[in-house]
Amino acid sequence: MVEQQFLSVRDLDVAYASGAHALRGVSIEVGAGERVGIVGANGAGKTTVARAVTGLSAVFRATVRQGRISLAGKDTTRWPAWRVLAAGVVTIPEGRGVISNMTVEDNLRLVLAAIPRRRRPAVTEAYTMYPVLGERRRAMAGLLSGGEQQMLAVARALLVRPRLIVADELSLGLAPRIVTEILDGLAARAANEGTAVLLIEQAVVMSLRFVDRAYVLDQGTVVAQGTSDELRQAGDTTARYLGVADLSRAEELL
Ligand SMILES: Nc1ncnc2c1ncn2[C@@H]1O[C@H](COP(=O)(O)OP(=O)(O)OP(=O)(O)O)[C@@H](O)[C@H]1O
């Protein structure tokens, strides 16, 4: 049981203007400082959860038809993205979202500028977290490798001291070794700052290593949930929803 709940999603139903009924009665919880995963196959509804939680549904012409989203007990179901951000929820969208034709350092300074000077962290925090960013701080972000860009996105998200980071398909297109490096950096900093992480991933084996517990989504519904160990041991049942032959022997997915 989550001791101090930060994000609570209850019985959420979301449909797109196209008619796609993407989520049906989804309930998830993320405690303060907790690391929680949402895993599921392509089209399961993972990104739709991320959009709903971060106030981006309307941008994608999706509507919350039923249910409630709350942050620290406040109903945020219909809050716009800027208000959710102000409440301490930062999103790392699929595709990273760094500004390509700005330097690494300017990408970082851009978010720091929004923080009052007396509380502003040093830009070098990002370089301590991922030293390669320091080495490449004058390079245009668009010239970094995919993994380095993702490091920049993660480090930038942490600089604003969020209470929750929602990371959507962080591993997409990256080598497993790089993903591990990125997640290790994120885990260390998040634990240090008490930041909760909602990790949305198709890469289930990798994801279960990083999170404390996870929800399995299939066709817009939560079909299983539990600690990483429980889900791994559920073997066949969980694996079937994920399109994996056997979760306990799915290391090759990495
Ligand atoms: N912008 C959109 N407009 C209309 N339908 C959408 C849109 N985005 C997603 N959908 C539909 O909503 C359902 C859930 O998609 P969603 O992207 O949330 O799943 P996902 O688990 O994140 O999959 P993926 O890993 O492919 O991103 C799918 O049927 C999808 O076709």
Of the CA atoms within 13 Å of residue 57, those in its CB half-sphere come to 27
Does ligand 1 come within 6 angstroms of the Cβ of 171? Answer: no
pLDDT at 46: 95
Contact 183, 189 (CB under 8 A): no
Residue nearest to atom 31 of ligand 1 (CA): 43
Looking at residue 162, its pLDDT comes to 94
Query: pLDDT value at position 254?
Result: 43
Confidence (pLDDT) at 116: 86
Beta carbon of 242 within 6 Å of any ligand 1 atom: no
Residue 248 has pLDDT above 60, yes or no: no
Residue 2 has pLDDT above 50, yes or no: no
Stronger pLDDT, 250 or 252, i.e. the higher one: 250
Residue nearest to atom 28 of ligand 1 (CA): 43
d(CA 134, CA 127): 5
Pairing of strands 21-31, 5-16: antiparallel
Q: What is the pLDDT of residues 5-63, one digit of tens each?
A: 899 999 999 999 999 999 999 999 999 999 999 999 888 999 999 999 999 999 999 99
* CA 162 – CA 156 distance, rounded (Å): 11
Cα–Cα distances in angstroms (integers) from residue 188 to residues 16, 111, 143, in the given order: 37, 21, 27
Q: Which residue has the higher pLDDT, 247 or 14?
A: 14
How much distance in Å is there from the Cα of 123 to the middle of ligand 1? 35
pLDDT at 247: 60
Mutate to test the pocket of ligand 1, among 9, 21, 28, 46 (most ligand atoms within 8 A of CB): 46
Average pLDDT over residues 226-253: 69
The residue whose CB lies within 8 Å of the most ligand 1 atoms, and thus the one to mutate among 12, 14, 16, is 16
Predicted confidence band at 4 (pLDDT cuts at 50, 70, 90)? confident
User: CA–CA separation, 192 vs 175, rounded Å?
Assistant: 26
* Stretch 171-183: mean pLDDT: 91
Model confidence, pTM: 0.92
Gap from CA of 173 to ligand 1 centroid (Å): 18
Name the residue of 18, 47, 91 to mutate for ligand 1: max ligand atoms within 8 A of Cβ: 47
pLDDT of residue 37: 96
pLDDT of 253 reads 47
Per-residue DSSP letters for the chain?
A: --SSEEEEEEEEEEEETTS-EEEEEEEEEEETT-EEEEE--TTSSHHHHHHHHTT-TGGGTEEEEEEEEEETTEE-TT--HHHHHHTTEEEE-TT----TTSBHHHHHHHHHTTS-GGGPPPTHHHHHHSHHHHHTTTSBGGGS-HHHHHHHHHHHHHHT--SEEEEESTTTT--HHHHHHHHHHHHHHHHHHT-EEEEEES-HHHHHHH-SEEEEEETTEEEEEEEHHHHHHTTHHHHHHHT-S-GGGGGGG-
CA distances from 83 to 71, 97, 172 (A): 11, 19, 28
pLDDT tens column, 75-110: 999 999 999 999 999 999 887 789 999 999 999 999
> Beta-carbon neighbour count of residue 244 at 10 Å?
20
Q: Is 20's C-beta closer than 6 angstroms to any atom of ligand 1?
A: yes
Residue 250 is predicted with a pLDDT of 56
Distance between CA atoms of 211 and 39, rounded to whole angstroms?
11
What is the average pLDDT score of the chain?
90
Q: Give the span between the Cα atoms of 8 and 181, in whole angstroms.
A: 29
The amino acid at residue 141 is A
Please tell me the least confidently modeled range out of 10-24, 143-157, 224-238: 224-238
Q: Check pocket membership of 48 for ligand 1, CB cut-off 6 A.
A: yes
pLDDT at 3 over 80: no
Structural domains of the chain ordered from first start:
5-97+162-251 (3.40.50.300)
Q: Is 47 in the pocket of ligand 1 (CB under 6 A)?
A: yes
Where do we find the tokens 């997409």? 172
Position 235 confidence tier, pLDDT thresholds 50, 70, 90:
low
- Residue from 18, 24, 39, 48 to probe ligand 1 pocket by mutation (most atoms less than 8 Å from CB): 48
Please give the share of the chain, as a percent, with pLDDT higher than 90: 73
Full strand arrangement of the beta sheet holding 196-201: 89-92, 164-168, 196-201, 35-39, 213-218, 221-227
Residue 200: its pLDDT value, please? 95
Question: Higher confidence at residue 22 or residue 252?
Answer: 22
